[in-house]
Amino acid sequence: MSAATSLFPTDPRTESRNTLHRFASTPVSYEELAERFRPIFKRIAEGAVAREQSRTLAVEPVAWLREAGFGALRIPQVYGGLGASLPQTFRLLIELAEADSNLPQIFRAHFAFVEERLNSKEEADRERWFPLIIDGATFGAAMAEKTEGTETTVTLTKENDRWLLDGYKFYSTGTIYANWIVAVALEGTEYVSLVLPTTAPGVVVEDDWDGFEQRLTGSGTTRFNRVEIRADQILRRLSVEQPPKTSYIIAYYQQFHLAALAGIARAVLKDAIAFTQTKTRTFGVPGKSSPRHDPLVQSVIGRLASLSFTVDSLVESVSASIQEAYEASIKGEDADDFITTANIKAYQAQQIVIEQVLEATTLLFEIGGASAVSETRRLDRYWRNARTLASHNPAVHRARAIGDYWLNGTPPVGVLQAVIQSEAQLKNAAEASARNS
């Protein structure tokens, strides 16, 4: 698709791209968006079990989505994108996760990059990157690390008239599928956010994610060996002493996991119904019988349906809250209260969604007896995927943040803020120890 070709017609009433871009798109219905992608979701679902069994990376599914413009969902129509709202985007991600929960996580860093551009005050930022995304470019991330309490193993140094990037990052989710990498490095006393091609000399992306599930997300190591970085590849700098601004991106990142979990709950219900309707023998009942008419099996299906409904409702509520924060932010209003509300709602939803989806993924096996554990079905992938997603952002830490907010009015912080605060506390403790010695 050409960068100049719109996925939806541009609104002729739009006077300038530099206006509030929320008003630059004619509202698109959810069904119009869903009809575009549901045939692809269906193809993805048909190969999900086979990919799990052979550990085949989802290269083809990612390509199908890219070619259909999935990466341009949030880009306003005035730039040639689809102009989807945040609630619409997350509803689509739930449907995608129902087909294969690896896929939303693969696109998580990409969508966050787009969201940051939407919130940028620099129109040139959108003019530069949106055409590439409309043309099919996707972005991965190299930000998180295994090391404790630091994000500094990747460094940016000046050598003569060029910048060089060195080090490695783990948890580089989606990067193995991407054209571009968004990385975080330390340069002196500043954190530097920068972007570079995955094909740049000195970049190595490894598929060494060893989690027991979500195995196809490409969440492994990215290595940088004297990778040349131009000045125009640097997105922003932030002093280690300066906390980042308050942002709904905290909730936004968490919502990707919640949407994936909601999709898993839907898939569990769907598979449980299909499994039950085709069985001709009820556990413990000799001869031919019909499990679909067994009151106990009906009760299990009823519980699974209720769990999925509750999870969907919670995720939808968080989506609406993030949309409110986004709208306030781009209007230039005081968005702090909206942002805090969105972040807290995401944290609170996490506490319930995780428990309910894990319950559903276990309860699924009550409807099938021994045949439900067949490797050919791989129904265990639902629990494994849900447990892995839940572990990425431990709920116990979020529960403490929720309590601190309700007791003391402390707003939640993002990962980088937490790192800065942690390093500041360590520095203060070391200084205090030195004074007392």
Confidence (pLDDT) at 428 = 61
Reported as a single tens digit per residue, the pLDDT across 213-256 is 677 776 778 899 999 999 999 998 887 777 667 789 989 999 99
Confidence (pLDDT) at 271 = 92
Q: Is the pLDDT of residue 122 over 90?
A: no
3-state secondary structure the chain: CCCCCCCCCCCCCCCCCCCCHHHHCCCCCHHHHHHHHHHHHHHHHHCHHHHHHHCCCCHHHHHHHHHCCHHHCCCCHHHCCCCCCHHHHHHHHHHHHHHCCHHHHHCHHHHHHHHHHHHCCCHHHHHHHHHHHHCCCCEEEECCCCCCCCCCCCEEEEECCEEEEEEEECCCCCHHHCCEEEEEEEECCEEEEEEEECCCCCEEECCCCCCCCCCCCCCCCEEEEEEEECHHHEEEEEECCCCCCCCCHHHHHHHHHHHHHHHHHHHHHHHHHHHHHHCCCCCCCCCCCCHHHCHHHHHHHHHHHHHHHHHHHHHHHHHHHHHHHHHHHHCCCCCHHHHHHHHHHHHHHHHHHHHHHHHHHHHHHHHCHHHHHCCCCCCHHHHHHHHHHHHHCCHHHHHHHHHHHHHHCCCCCCHHHHHHHHHHHHHHHHHHHHHHC
Domain boundaries, the chain: 21-137, 155-239, 249-422
Confidence (pLDDT) at 16 = 46
Low-confidence winner among 50-54, 81-85, 170-174, 301-305 (lowest mean pLDDT): 170-174
Low-confidence winner among 30-44, 85-99, 326-340 (lowest mean pLDDT): 326-340
Give mean pLDDT, residues 99-115: 94
Instruction: Quote the CA–CA distance of 218 and 206 in Å, as a whole number.
Output: 8
Instruction: State residue 215 phi and psi, 5-degree precision.
Output: -80, -10
Q: 21-137 belongs to which homologous superfamily?
A: Acyl-CoA dehydrogenase/oxidase, N-terminal domain (1.10.540.10)
304: confidence class by pLDDT, cuts 50, 70, 90: very high
Low-confidence winner among 141-145, 289-293, 400-404 (lowest mean pLDDT): 289-293
Reported as a single tens digit per residue, the pLDDT across 188-198 is 888 889 999 99
Q: 155-239 belongs to which homologous superfamily?
A: Butyryl-CoA Dehydrogenase, subunit A, domain 2 (2.40.110.10)
Q: Is the pLDDT of residue 340 over 50?
A: yes
407: confidence class by pLDDT, cuts 50, 70, 90: very high
Query: Over the chain, what is the mean pLDDT?
Result: 84
Confidence (pLDDT) at 101 = 92
Q: Which two tokens stand for residue 373?
A: 């554990």
380: confidence class by pLDDT, cuts 50, 70, 90: confident
Amino acid at 182: V
280: confidence class by pLDDT, cuts 50, 70, 90: low
Buried b (16+ CB within 10 A) or exposed e, 142-174: bbbbeeeeebbebebeeeeeebbbbbbbbbbbb
162: confidence class by pLDDT, cuts 50, 70, 90: confident
Instruction: Quote the CA–CA distance of 210 and 273 in Å, as a whole number.
Output: 32
Amino acid at 274: A
Fold of 249-422: Butyryl-CoA Dehydrogenase, subunit A; domain 3 (1.20.140)
Reported as a single tens digit per residue, the pLDDT across 74-92 is 999 999 999 999 999 999 9
Q: Is the pLDDT of residue 13 over 50?
A: no
1: confidence class by pLDDT, cuts 50, 70, 90: very low
